[in-house]
């Protein structure tokens, strides 16, 4: 998707969902649970919860509490639907 925007994207960071086991069946199950939880949060318009879930395995446990006070958190909470859509097609 970013490649289609050409020069409009200067930098891009990619994050993988938290499916770190070596067993493919376990990884599929973990991702299915993650996707279900994300869908529930997004469909219920629980944007803060969707962002917290997205970041859960990428930042230290205390970080979401601190990040909630930042402008970046508000930007992320404004667009969890895009992240969910990316996860569905990823």
Neighbouring CB atoms inside 10 A of 84's CB total: 18
Domain holding 69, by residue range, is 21-89
- Burial group, residue 7, by CB count within 10 angstroms (0-12, 13-18, 19+): exposed
In this structure, is residue 83 part of a structural domain? yes
Pick out the chain residues at pLDDT < 70: 1-5, 15-21, 80-90
In this structure, is residue 70 part of a structural domain? yes
In this structure, is residue 46 part of a structural domain? yes
Model's pTM, two decimal places? 0.62
Residue 1 has a pLDDT of 58
In this structure, is residue 78 part of a structural domain? yes
For the chain, the domain total comes to: 1
- Burial group, residue 52, by CB count within 10 angstroms (0-12, 13-18, 19+): buried
Residue 37 has a pLDDT of 92
In this structure, is residue 6 part of a structural domain? no
In this structure, is residue 75 part of a structural domain? yes
């Amino acid at each position: 998707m970013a490649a289609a925007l050409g020069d409009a994207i200067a930098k891009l960071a990619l994050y993988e969902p938290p499916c770190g086991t070596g067993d493919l069946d376990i990884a599929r199950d973990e991702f299915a649970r993650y996707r279900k939880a994300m869908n529930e949060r997004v469909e219920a318009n629980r944007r803060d919860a969707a962002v917290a879930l997205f970041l859960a395995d990428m930042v230290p446990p205390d970080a979401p509490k601190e990040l909630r006070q930042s402008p970046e958190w508000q930007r992320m909470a404004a667009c969890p639907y895009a992240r969910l859509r990316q996860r569905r097609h990823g």
